[in-house]
Structure 1
Amino acid sequence: MSIDELKKGESMSSPSRWSFAIALAVASFTSQATEPQSQRLYPEGSQQHFSGPATYFTGQVDVQMLFPSQDAAPYSGAYVTFAPGARTAWHQHPAGQHMIVTKGTAITVTRPGQVIAFHEGETVWCPEGVDHWHGSMPDSSMTHLVITGSREGQNVVWKEQVSDAQYQAAVKTVTAEQPTLKALGATHQHLATVAALAAAGDQSSLSLALNRALDAGVSVNQLKEALIHLYPYGGFPKSLNALGTLMSVVKVRQSAGKQDKVGDAPKPLPAGDTAQALGTRVQTELVGHPVSGPLFDFAPGINTFLQKHLFGDVFARGVLDHQDREVLTVAMLSVSPETEPQLRAHIGMALNTGLKRDQLQDLSTLVQYSVGSAAGQRIDSALKAALKS
Structure 2
Amino acid sequence: MRKKIAAILTGIFLSIFSMTAVSQAQPTIHSGLNVKQQGIVTIAAFTAKGDLERLKTALNEGLDAGLTVNEIKEILVQMYAYCGFPRSLNGINTFMNVMKEREAKGIKDELGREASPLPAGKSSIELGTEVQTSLIGAPASGAIYTFAPAIDEFLKGHLFGDIFGRDNLDYQSREIATISALASMNGVNNQLRSHFNVGLNVGLTEAQLRSLITVLETRVGKQEADNATGVLNNVISGRTR
Q: TM-score range by the shorter chain?
A: 0.7 to 0.9
Match of 2:225 among 373, 376, 389: 376
Q: After superposition, what is the alpha-carbon deviation per residue over 1:182-233, rounded to whole angstroms, capped at 9, x for unaligned? A: 2112211011111111111111111111111111221111110110010000
Counterpart in the other structure of 1:333: 182
TM-score, scaled relative to structure 1: 0.52
Contact 1:365 1:376 in 2 (8 A): yes
- Of 29, 47, 51, the residue aligned with 1:202 is 51
The residue identity in structure 2 corresponding to 1:384 is N
- What is residue 123 of structure 2 aligned with on the other side? 274
Flag structure 2 segments of 5+ consecutive residues without an equivalent. 1-25
State the match for 1:252 in structure 2. Answer: 101
Work out the CA distance in 2 between the residues paired with 1:369 and 1:299. 39
Letter aligned with residue 337 of structure 1: N
Look up the match of 1:231: 80
Q: Does 1:215 align with 2:64?
A: yes
Cα shift readout 1:245-285 (whole Å, capped 9, x = no counterpart): 10001011111111100001123356676111110011011
Structure 1 residue 189 corresponds to structure 2 residue 47: no
Q: Give the match's secondary structure for 2:164.
A: helix
CA distance in structure 1 between the partners assigned to 2:143 and 2:187 by the alignment = 20
In structure 2, what is the equivalent of residue 307 of structure 1? 156
User: Displacement of 1:369 after TM fit?
Assistant: 1.8
Larger Cα Rg: Structure 1 or Structure 2?
A: 1
TM-score, length-scaled by structure 2: 0.84
CA deviations 1:130-176 (Å, max 9, x no partner) are xxxxxxxxxxxxxxxxxxxxxxxxxxxxxxxxxxxxxxxxxxxxxxx
Structure with larger RCO (C-alpha < 8 A, sep 6+): 2
- Is 2:217 aligned against 1:388? no
Partner AA of 2:80 in structure 1: Y
Deviations 1:32-89 (A, max 9, x none): xxxxxxxxxxxxxxxxxxxxxxxxxxxxxxxxxxxxxxxxxxxxxxxxxxxxxxxxxx
Q: Letter of the 1:330 partner, please give it.
A: I
* SS of equivalent residue, structure 1 residue 365: helix
1:200 and 1:371 in contact (8 A); partners too:
no
Are the aligned partners of 1:198 and 1:238 in contact in 2 as well (CA < 8 Å)?
A: yes
SS state at 2:129 partner = helix
One-letter amino acid of the structure 1 residue matched with residue 235 of structure 2: A
Gaps of 5+ in 1: 1-178
* Structure with the larger helix share: 2
Which amino acid in the other structure matches residue 279 of structure 1? G
Matching residue of 1:82: none
- The number of residues matched between the two structures is 211
The question of 1:360 aligning with 2:209 is answered yes
Q: Read off the aligned partner of 1:232 and give its amino acid letter.
A: A
Aligned mates of 2:121, 2:154 — CA distance in 1: 15
Q: Using the alignment, how far apart are the partners of 2:233 and 2:103 within structure 1?
A: 44
How far 1:313 moved relative to its partner? 0.5
Q: Percent identity?
A: 42
Determine if contact 1:344/1:386 at 8 Å carries over to the other structure. Answer: yes
- Look up the equivalent residue of 2:133 and give its one-letter code: T
Residue 312 (structure 1) shift: 0.3
Amino acid at match of 1:203: L
CA distance in structure 2 between the aligned counterparts of 1:385 and 1:303, rounded to whole angstroms? 26
Using the TM superposition, give the Cα deviation of residue 348 of structure 1 relative to its aligned residue in structure 2, in angstroms.
0.2
> What is the RMSD computed on CA atoms of the aligned residues?
1.6
CA distance in 2, matches of 1:272, 1:299: 27
Q: Does 1:285 align with 2:134?
A: yes
Between Structure 1 and Structure 2, the one with more strand by share is 1
